[in-house]
Structure 1
Amino acid sequence: MLPHQPLAAVLRTLRAMKGVTQSELPADRKHLYKLEAGLSDITLGMIQELAESLGVEPVTLVMLVRATEMGCSSQALLVLVADQLQDFERKGGPAELTRQLDLGAVQAREVARAERSSAIQACKERGLTQRETAHELGLSKSTVARAW
Structure 2
Amino acid sequence: MKSTGITSTPRRKPMAEINVVPYIDVMLVLLVIFMVTAPMMTQGVKVDLPETTADPMQAPKDVEPVIVSVDANGAYYIEIGDKGSDPMPLATLTEQVNKVLSGRSQRDVLVRGDRNVDYGTVVRLMAALQSAGASSVGLITEEPEG
State TM-score, norm by structure 1: 0.21
Structure with more helix by fraction? 1
Question: Over alpha carbons, which structure has the higher Rg?
Answer: 2
Instruction: State the structure with bigger RCO (CA 8 A, min sep 6), 1 or 2.
Output: 2
Structure with more strand by fraction? 2
